[in-house]
Amino acid sequence: MLGIIGMFVAIALLIYLAYKGWNIIVASLLCSLIVVLTSFGDIFKAFTTDYANGFKYFAGTYFIIFVLGALFGQVMGDSGSATAVSRKLLSVVGESRAILVTVLATALLTYGGVSVFIVIFTVYPLALILFKSANLPKRLIAASVGIGAATFTMTALPGSPAIQNIIPTQVLGTTATAAPLVGIICSCILLFGGLWYLNKQAKKALANKEGFVPGARDNMEKLSLNDEASLPHWFVALLPLLVVIGLIIGLRGKLDALFSVTIALTAGIILTYLLNWKRITNPLKTMNDGCLNSLGALINTSAIVAFGFVVQAVPAFQSFVQFVLGLSLDPLIAAAVGVNVVAGITGSASGGLTIFMQSMGPGLLAKGVNPEILHRVASIASGGLDSLPHSGAVITLLTYMGLSHKEGYKDLGVVTVVIPLIVLVVAVVLGILFY
């Protein structure tokens, strides 16, 4: 029992320290120590093996992706390509639609199979211009990206290539289009509910005269809307982005997923340089800045993943998981609760979903539950508590955008935690009534 209490105290403390602006590495080490001490574990093993392995796993696996993703975002910004695409979007939908454009652009990328981490690096330069033009607070960019990347395209929309929509297929024998009607209904609520909330917040910000203020690392001179003559044509600016998306989709199933993304980003960077060489004031500085900008987000996210490895290694975590998964509830309710709780503890949607499916998926199928609705409910459930403040994706999003938790998490939490939990209830009710 002490171990379980310590585990939740450590998670709560990690969230609190993140809000207070503590360095994430220091906070994750301190909270890992609490987990180990309350579980009477081996401190040396916890840090040199569990924490270190978690850090090495994430940093080693995604290092090149973070570097290339940040470099692609940097060169899109410095070349004026982000500005050109943003201007075109503004001319089509109007300056007042900055939130909608950011959400839809993000959703298009993620539904096309682009990783959420790459989406952050790619969309941010465009969103800066959109929000500057609309004079909306920068903090709403994080929530806008959250709606497009971490809600309906990740868990609910039928056919999504997101890993959270693929994991259940491995156990349940379903397809990515499982329970399409429930998925579409839930997707609409996630999308329009999130847009309604953010537009309400935008109106409130404008009424309070809270406008756009760039961060210390936001080079708004490079992203200026004024010098239109120096910008590339919007279609030329869009070409590298189309190449990245096209290669990721085209190489799917032919190469390892990370390798295909690496090829796509490399091609996008090279093409952006070739098309805009004369427009980039200092090509070497652009490359250096892009690479350096990736490191903070990578290291902070790796530290959070390392904390998750420490938590998963203690007996208290396994005991709690078995307790949650063993509750005598309706199968759909059990899936909703089990996936959410485990995803919340680990700060990972895919982690929570994988643990649940491996532990309980076959047993629930044996009870006669419809595999299609179980797939959809479990997938949607993975996208709720996974986005608590200690989530690796949340840390990456806020860090890269230069926002503190205090500045950016409230709105992000509403659209990626609160609204998805409400939608989860809708999915469970529909499943019980019609399946």
Per-residue pLDDT tens for 300-327? Answer: 778 888 888 898 888 888 787 777 667 6
Question: Taking the CB of residue 256, how many other CB atoms lie within 10 A of it?
Answer: 9
What's the pLDDT at 421? 97
pLDDT at 224 over 60: no
Mean pLDDT of 337-358: 83
Mean pLDDT of 191-195: 97
What amino acid occupies position 174?
T
Task: Please report which residue ranges of 94-162 form alpha helices under DSSP H.
Answer: 98-111, 116-134, 139-150
pLDDT in tens, 138-161: 999 999 999 999 999 999 998 887
Whether 377 and 336 have beta carbons less than 8 Å apart is answered as: yes
How far apart CA 232 and CA 123 sit, in angstroms, is: 18
pLDDT at 430 over 90: yes
Whether 307 and 390 have beta carbons less than 8 Å apart is answered as: yes
pLDDT in tens, 70-87: 888 788 878 888 777 777
pLDDT in tens, 366-420: 888 899 999 999 999 999 998 988 887 888 889 888 898 888 999 999 999 999 9
Task: Please report which residue ranges of 151-233 form alpha helices under DSSP H.
Answer: 163-172, 180-207
Residue bearing the bigger pLDDT, 414 or 358 = 414
Mean pLDDT of 250-271: 81
What's the pLDDT at 137? 93
Q: Which among 370, 319, 361 has a CA at the least distance from the CA of 339?
A: 361
Confidence bin at 200 (pLDDT 50/70/90): very high
State both tokens at 285. Answer: 């500085």
State both tokens at 373. Answer: 């609705």
Whether 312 and 1 have beta carbons less than 8 Å apart is answered as: no
pTM of the prediction?
0.81
| Inter-CA distances, 259 with 62, 239, 278, 305, 334, Å | 11, 21, 30, 22, 37
Whether 119 and 144 have beta carbons less than 8 Å apart is answered as: no
Mean pLDDT of 163-184: 89
pLDDT at 227 over 60: no
What's the pLDDT at 229? 64
pLDDT at 252 over 90: no
As a whole-number percent, the residues of the chain with pLDDT over 70 amount to: 95
Confidence bin at 362 (pLDDT 50/70/90): confident
How far apart CA 151 and CA 427 sit, in angstroms, is: 14
Question: Taking the CB of residue 275, how many other CB atoms lie within 10 A of it?
Answer: 17
pLDDT at 40 over 80: yes
**Average pLDDT of every residue of the chain:** 85
Confidence bin at 427 (pLDDT 50/70/90): very high
Confidence bin at 67 (pLDDT 50/70/90): confident
Residue 224 falls in which region: left (phi positive, over 0), alpha (psi -120 to 50) or beta: beta
pLDDT at 255 over 80: no
End-to-end CA distance of the chain: 38
| Inter-CA distances, 25 with 51, 235, 324, 400, Å | 11, 42, 30, 16
State both tokens at 85. Answer: 């695409």
pLDDT at 228 over 70: no
pLDDT at 230 over 90: no
pLDDT at 330 over 80: yes
What's the pLDDT at 185? 97
Residues shown for the chain:
435
| φ/ψ (deg, to 5) at 117 | -65, -40
